[in-house]
Amino acid sequence: MADHTAHSAYVQVYNTLRGTAAALETLKLTGAGEGYAKPHAGAAMHAVRFAVAVLYPLLPCQPGPPVSDDPQRQLDLAAHWRDAAYEIGEFAPGPALRVVRGEEGPRTREGGVQGA
């Protein structure tokens, strides 16, 4: 009985995670409205898909993950989208100011700071 109860609990969580991943994919593709960023939905979606990929081997009787069930790939995708959501790494915005020296900038003699 305990094994059946545990299995049922895992199935319920697994199916909830699959549904959550699908809902997040919809938000990523269509947007969630003004003020919400698609990269946040993408990062969350891949994190949830990672959880699905981790649980799937315990539940071969359930439908497979909606995409590749390689957990490392899901972690890599989640990290990529996280970087986009938080504007870090390759997604970091350029500097707002830049240092100019001598003749590089317009009409500066000794250098200074100029808006980018």
Q: Report pLDDT digits (tens) over 80-111.
A: 888 888 888 888 888 777 777 766 555 545 55
Lowest-pLDDT range, 24-38, 44-58, 60-74? 24-38
Give the pLDDT confidence score for residue 1 in this predicted structure: 43
Domain residue extents for the chain: 2-85
Rounded to 5 degrees, what are φ and ψ at 99?
A: -85, 130
The better pLDDT of the pair 17, 100 is held by 17
Query: Residue 12 — pLDDT band, cuts 50, 70, 90?
Result: very high
pLDDT in the model for residue 22 = 92
The whole-model pTM stands at: 0.67
pLDDT score, position 32: 62
Per-residue pLDDT, averaged over 41-49, amounts to 86
Task: Tell me what percent of the residues of the chain surpass a pLDDT of 90.
Answer: 20
